[in-house]
Amino acid sequence: MSRFFTTGSDSESESSLSGEELDTKPVSGNYGRRPLLLSEDEEDTKRVVRSAKDKRFEELTNLIRTIRNAMKIRDVTKCLEEFELLGKAYGKAKSIVDKEGVPRFYIRILADLEDYLNELWEDKEGKKKMNKNNAKALSTLRQKIRKYNRDFESHITNYKQNPEQSADEDAEKNEEDSEGSSDEDEDDDGVSAATFLKKKPESSGDSRKFLKKMEDDEEDSEDSEDDEEWDTSSTSSDSDSEEEEGKQTVLASKFLKKAPTTEEDKKAAEKKREDKAKKKHDRKSKRLDEEEEDNEGGEWERVRGGVPLVKEKPKMFAKGTEITHAVVIKKLNEILQARGKKGTDRATQIELLQLLVQIASENNLGEGVIVKIKFNIIASLYDYNPNLATYMKPEMWQMCLDCINELMDILVAHSNIFVGENILEESENLHNFDQPLRVRGCILTLVERMDEEFTKIMQNTDPHSQEYVEHLKDEAQVCAIIERVQRYLEEKGTTEEICQIYLRRILHTYYKFDYKAHQRQLTPPEGSSKSEQDQAENEGEDSAVLMERLCKYIYAKDRTDRIRTCAILCHIYHHALHSRWYQARDLMLMSHLQDNIQHADPPVQILYNRTMVQLGICAFRQGLTKDAHNALLDIQSSGRAKELLGQGLLLRSLQERNQEQEKVERRRQVPFHLHINLELLECVYLVSAMLLEIPYMAAHESDARRRMISKQFHHQLRVGERQPLLGPPESMREHVVAASKAMKMGDWKTCHSFIINEKMNGKVWDLFPEADKVRTMLVRKIQEESLRTYLFTYSSVYDSISMETLSDMFELDLPTVHSIISKMIINEELMASLDQPTQTVVMHRTEPTAQQNLALQLAEKLGSLVENNERVFDHKQGTYGGYFRDQKDGYRKNEGYMRRGGYRQQQSQTAY
């Protein structure tokens, strides 16, 4: 009531004025005003004005809601980021908090977050499974929350003793609960922050829902006014009598609720509650009816029970549109413009392009348009996964193969279609059939990307699962497509394109053993006629002939070093795989790849390492143990054979590279079906080292300056010697060490039993294509080297020994024994002579005694000391390294003295 219309005494006017002022709603906040119902034309132009308190509290509750969502998914990093923002937002709201007090919902999130972090900290198993970022964030956030909560310790203690629902939880409740609790939390003076958050619209952009909320607020305010009128009417008689007692009593009677004292008051209160519930139900049903009307208008759609909506396929063209080349190309460009943009559904884009192909074929627009759309479909399939490391899904992969086959069918069937990446879009000819059709696109690029995707699929599949086998069957389709593109480019492609597609064919051929060609070499068809032989040869081109033809074309025509280098390495690998040792060795030596391979890119270096390993295994199969050892020395001595061959990463080197480098190196890994057995590789190397090292150790037993041929082999020997209890060998390495000890004593039979047995056959020797030949060769080499070791070790015991005795001991024929001893005498490894009539070996006593050996060692050390002193003196004089340095008498040649058995190490100098 306005004071301008008041009548009566001054005291009455003052009392009424004070009462009116107390009854007035606060006008500073938006929620305190009665909302205006806006027309649909004015909905987008009106703004909602809110107080600073509401803005700050809303900012806090939004951050709290984000933190709770992060807590549900155990994203501690997100919790840490939002907690820091929450602290800053609380600092901005400090002035409001000082007036109003700390909000209950803020205390609740601090308490819940601290309890949540303590649970995560105590969960040891969960901490182990966390990634690095989450674990680091957990430790940081735990320290920060403990330090931060010290300022709110009393509030948190009171909250835990009497927990209540906070504002952020109320905001997340469903609509029905929020409506039911709105009247209870509302008081007569205004609206609390929690109530405001409850009535906040879910979507800021939805103006219609916002207006519905405003209408609900108006109805709630009307209910509250009705309650006030009901209270004032029931107490009107009392207020007249209480005016004489004073102003305080009047105010108390107006604002304090009175407990029902009589039965009538109780019935009236129950009736009031029933009326309120009825009004609430009516409002709810009215709102549901309005939403259903909106749904009929097609603006909103209610999803019930989580049933997915069936979307209609988008219409490509309006009804009655004439389908022409220009219309289809325009539609194609519209679809392609959305490619790569954020929010574009790639699967839908592929479906639209396929639908466009159907429309083009139904309207007979020609093969040029279809080829252009097919190129874009395949490109969209490759771009389906934005992440480079992610491989294609099986259905997408199969769709890609089918599209490429369909594209090749069109290109092969229509020779008047020319495709190329050099054709500009302005110069394309898609519909003028009088001239050759020209389409922009590169079929070679599509095939190379297809090959890369196949490699990526094989890299990301478990090699020990059936799924890997199923994916490996797709290689036949990949090879067939490459062959089709090869035949197409041989007719219409350039020299560079032919070289690139030849290399793709080589990369799918070089590692495969040609069993059919191998079988034809072993068992030539003698009884069959000549026509049958020709037919058998024409069934399939031998891989050796194919590799020769493809590689020679690249050697002659290629202008890039990388393609030629890869072709040479694949050619050498294929030769070595099929036991053509001399061709592989000559090609490797003539190419001089070992001189510049360190400057090549990592995939080429991996291919070089694989080729050298295969070359060493080939030499071992041929019985050339020294060549095998030299070829495998670099790979095996590094201790990183697995990494150098691209067959895995070493755990110890994970600290030396970051996550991005590790991803790059994983993409370089070779698929499992190309792997070389690392245990076979190590066994070949150790056996070759044993056959070289044991005779050398026996010949230089007393040599102080004895060098090691293989450090890894010596390491295995030392490991075997350190074992306190020697049992039967179990692993491959233990078998080789036990065989080495037996060979050192000249016991070739024991050595043979350790190297060739059922366990070693299953692990190593049966993996060779011609396992029996390898085992026969190995027995022969063990017998020969055991004979050499026996003569080096026991030559000082014998005056003479019969060659027949040696032949019986080592089960070698007499000419072989004669040949081995003759080579040892010629090379001055054994100081002896052969008596031909009696077939005996006569030993010459020329080996020094123990004192003479010590004296010789002392003389060698003094000689090396003199050489070092002379080098230092020449360096000071400035003549060190001059041409006449080797002419001085003080510089001795590296000629050793006579050892046991008369072995002399000579440095032969030959003038050419």
pLDDT single digits (tens) 130-155: 888 888 899 899 999 988 998 888 88
Query: Which secondary structure element, helix H or strand E, spans residue 440, and what is its range?
Result: strand 437-440
Domain containing residue 800 = 677-843
- Indicate which CATH number applies to the domain containing 712: 1.10.10.10
Nearest alpha carbon to residue 155 among 114, 191, 187, 95: 114
909 vs 321 pLDDT, higher one: 321
**pLDDT tens digits along 887-906:** 444 444 444 333 333 333 33
C-alpha–C-alpha distance, residues 731 and 686, integer Å: 13
DSSP sequence for 721-764: HH-SS-----SHHHHHHHHHHHHHTT-HHHHHHHHSSHHHHHHT
pLDDT at residue 769 in the model: 83
pLDDT at residue 627 in the model: 92
pLDDT at residue 180 in the model: 41
48-57, 471-480, 867-876, range with the lowest pLDDT = 48-57
Whether the Cβ atoms of residue 529 and residue 592 lie closer than 8 Å to each other: no
The set of residues, in sequence order, having a beta carbon less than 8 Å from that of 892 and lying 6+ positions away, is 863, 867
The set of residues, in sequence order, having a beta carbon less than 8 Å from that of 902 and lying 6+ positions away, is 828, 829, 830, 831, 844, 846, 847
Q: Whose structure tokens read 């069957």?
A: 473
Which span out of 360-364, 714-718, 866-870 was modeled with the highest average pLDDT?
Answer: 866-870
843, 874, 898 - which closes a domain:
843
pLDDT at residue 671 in the model: 92
pLDDT at residue 314 in the model: 55
C-alpha–C-alpha distance, residues 645 and 639, integer Å: 12
DSSP sequence for 849-892: -HHHHHHHHHHHHHHHHHHHHHHHHHHHHT-TT-GGGGGSTTS-
115, 135, 161 - which closes a domain:
161
Residue 621 forms part of a structural domain: no
Whether the Cβ atoms of residue 563 and residue 500 lie closer than 8 Å to each other: yes
pLDDT at residue 244 in the model: 44
C-alpha–C-alpha distance, residues 508 and 454, integer Å: 12
Residue 449 forms part of a structural domain: yes
252-256, 748-752, 851-855, range with the lowest pLDDT = 252-256
Residue 603 forms part of a structural domain: no
Q: Tell me: pLDDT of 167 over 50.
A: no
161, 191, 210 - which closes a domain:
161
C-alpha–C-alpha distance, residues 31 and 54, integer Å: 9
Specify the 3-state DSSP secondary structure of 237.
helix
pLDDT at residue 4 in the model: 43
Whether the Cβ atoms of residue 420 and residue 411 lie closer than 8 Å to each other: no
Which of the four pLDDT bands, split at 50, 70 and 90, describes residue 69? Answer: very high
Q: Mean pLDDT for the chain?
A: 76
Q: Tell me: pLDDT of 614 over 90.
A: yes
Which of the four pLDDT bands, split at 50, 70 and 90, describes residue 729? Answer: confident
Q: What percent of the chain lies above the pLDDT cut of 90?
A: 22
Specify the 3-state DSSP secondary structure of 55.
helix
pLDDT at residue 333 in the model: 86
Angle, CA of 29, 35 and 40, to the nearest 5°: 130
Angle, CA of 527, 530 and 532, to the nearest 5°: 80
pTM: 0.60
Residue 529 forms part of a structural domain: no
Residue 892 forms part of a structural domain: no
Q: Whose structure tokens read 């080096």?
A: 792
Q: Which residues pair with 801 in a beta bridge?
A: 841
**pLDDT tens digits along 261-293:** 566 667 777 777 778 777 777 777 666 665 554
Determine the average pLDDT of the residues in 710-729: 83
> 73-81: long-range contacts at Cβ-Cβ below 8 A with a sequence spacing of 24 or more?
74/120, 74/126, 74/134, 75/134, 76/117, 76/120, 76/130, 76/134, 76/137, 76/138, 76/141, 77/133, 77/134, 77/137, 79/113, 79/137, 79/141, 80/137, 80/140, 80/141, 80/144
pLDDT at residue 486 in the model: 92
Nearest alpha carbon to residue 133 among 193, 74, 85, 196: 74
Residue 296 forms part of a structural domain: no
Which of the four pLDDT bands, split at 50, 70 and 90, describes residue 400? Answer: very high
Q: What percent of the chain lies above the pLDDT cut of 70?
A: 72
Q: Tell me: pLDDT of 785 over 60.
A: yes
Whether the Cβ atoms of residue 421 and residue 440 lie closer than 8 Å to each other: yes
pLDDT at residue 529 in the model: 46
410 vs 237 pLDDT, higher one: 410
C-alpha–C-alpha distance, residues 107 and 119, integer Å: 19
Residue 886 forms part of a structural domain: no
DSSP sequence for 24-51: SPP-SSSTTSPPPPPPTTTTTT------
* Number of domains into which the chain is organized: 3
Which span out of 656-670, 708-722, 781-795 was modeled with the highest average pLDDT?
Answer: 781-795
Amino acid at 669: Q
**pLDDT tens digits along 179-238:** 443 443 434 444 343 443 343 434 444 444 444 444 444 444 444 444 444 444 444 444
pLDDT at residue 726 in the model: 78
Residue 235 forms part of a structural domain: no
> How far apart, in Å, are the Cα atoms of 129 and each of 117, 119, 133, 657?
16, 15, 12, 22
| Beta-strand pair 840-843/832-835 | antiparallel
Q: Tell me: pLDDT of 454 over 60.
A: yes
662 vs 106 pLDDT, higher one: 106
**pLDDT tens digits along 87-97:** 999 988 888 88
**pLDDT tens digits along 520-579:** 777 755 444 444 444 444 455 688 899 999 999 999 988 888 999 999 999 999 999 998
User: Is the sign of the CA dihedral 115, 119, 121, 122 positive or negative?
Assistant: positive
